Structure 1
Amino acid sequence: MARHIGVPKAVAKQGKKHDRAIRPCGSSRCIDWATIERVQLADAIRALLTTDPWERFFDITEPTYSELTLELCSTFHLQVVMMNNDYPGTIHFRLGVLVRAMSVPEFGVAQGLYTNEFMEEEDMNALPHNIHISPFSCWKALAPLSSTYDPSRSKASALAPSLRYLHAILAHTLTGRIESTGVVNSHDAYYLWCMANAHVTDLAYFIAFAIRH
């Protein structure tokens, strides 16, 4: 699994100082640009990644470190009832024996998803951090010729090849369904719809919510 929902970039480097934390677990899941160039999918995939922060999300290629990831996930707390996601105590966890507390945007910066320019341009508190478009509407836009959407049965094979490729990476990383990459669940449909429609969402919050579960 790539470092998409693992240890934040800024603190993962610190963990490398510890011998017990320098062993990567698993293979990174990321875009193989050389391969998709050969099968002529590169332009279609780049077109889906023109909206931040998705381009930065799929650009993450560092390995995940097992001990650090377990420490983060086992101590992770997300304040899901909140008035303002800029509150520095919204997210806190322990890593390298230190307790970290940060806001959702700060967590996004640590992950490498958000830049200062992005946060200046966007109203961070107004960005969606839940699925606000019905999965049925998302699916019909992504696969207009398919039958009625079923989040437990609708197949990725109904998607265009570029969407199918990105869905496989999502299933191995953000949505964490390695054993079920062929099915497009509600979160998959929403994320792919956001990419296809250049819709900006609070990806850092979605990642934090995934870690929480």
Structure 2
Amino acid sequence: MKKMNFIMGLLLVLCLSLVGCSLYPDYDQDSEMETEVIVKDAPVGESIVENEEVVDENVLQKPANNKEVEIISPKEDLDECVGDADCGEHEVISASCFQGNVNSQYKDYYCDDGKCKAKGGSTIESCDRGLELCREGECIEIATLPCNDTDGGKNYLEAGKVVDAKGKEFFDECLTAFKLQEAFCTAGEFNKGVGDYEDVRCEDDEVCSVNHCKAVPDDE
């Protein structure tokens, strides 16, 4: 009996050495190694799967175990936007007069792919002809602008000069020896502040001389 057991033991040892049988399963050392995870631009409010286990977002916000973690809040950057209203309003950069109209340079801001951007351009605003003038980049009513007459109005006995709201000049002038062209500022509802002329005949005892009417001296 002892001899039989001895023979069986030898056969078992021989089997193990020749066939390569193993009493233990293969062991993969890499199967338990932790994978280093780098998370960038991960949206807040979502979890991330790591090593087939759910990692809570709050844990990621406190980097540990040599992990580099960065989670950007939608409002962290001032340039970030959801809509155009987040980026600013229409902005006029400069305004000037061009051929009697207002030429404006502007910037508009808009939201593009979550970032605020700007685009520029120009516009032409037409002033109301005859009623408005362009001054320093604005349309201004002529009636509100000054018109200056050096002789105080329709004064035929003094030579004068008119500078109207448009900057145009008008001068008193003798047309003949007895007729005067008098310059003055209009005061009508639709042409206030504009220079104009009126032709007048001097009085019978007057003549037009040096751009005004004056009395004829008595004969001695």
TM-score range, shorter chain: under 0.3
TM-score (norm 2): 0.18
**Structure with more relative contact order (C-alpha pairs < 8 Å, separation 6 or more):** 1
Q: Which structure shows the higher strand fraction?
A: 2
Q: Which structure shows the higher helix fraction?
A: 1
TM-score (norm 1): 0.18
